Amino acid sequence: MKLILTFQNKLEDKGIIFHEKFLEVLSSTIEGDNPYLIGPSGCGKTYMVGMIAKLLQIPLVEIGRIVDGTTLIGFSNASGNLTPTNFFYCYKD
């Protein structure tokens, strides 16, 4: 946790702002939980996840809004073949 606070302090010194729940969500993620983030547009959910991905050195794949199962895993194109989404590739790999 000391390393994380050092990282956060260095970035705050450069003027980077952290979400108030950053450490809580980061700790949950490191412990293997999958935090569910709820909030209105513009409250910092994606920004916070991007900061966590950067800190943990993992790629961030944005899938946008999920409407139903087909928008999550993919859809059938006109030929009847599955057109997978970014989420599908991340889950598969």
pLDDT, tens only, 39-80: 888 888 888 888 888 888 888 877 666 566 666 778 888 898
The number of angstroms, rounded, from the C-alpha of 7 to the middle of its chain's C-alpha atoms is 19
Q: Which residues pair with 84 in a beta bridge?
A: 74
Task: Give the pLDDT confidence score for residue 42 in this predicted structure.
Answer: 87
Q: Number of helices and strands (H, E) in the chain?
A: 5, 2
Cα Rg of the chain, angstroms = 16
Task: Give the pLDDT confidence score for residue 13 in this predicted structure.
Answer: 87
Structure confidence by residue, pLDDT tens digits, 9-31: 888 888 888 888 888 898 888 88
Compute the distance between CA of residue 86 and CA of residue 74 in angstroms, rounded to an integer.
9
52 by Cβ neighbours in 10 Å (0-12 / 13-18 / 19+) ranks as buried
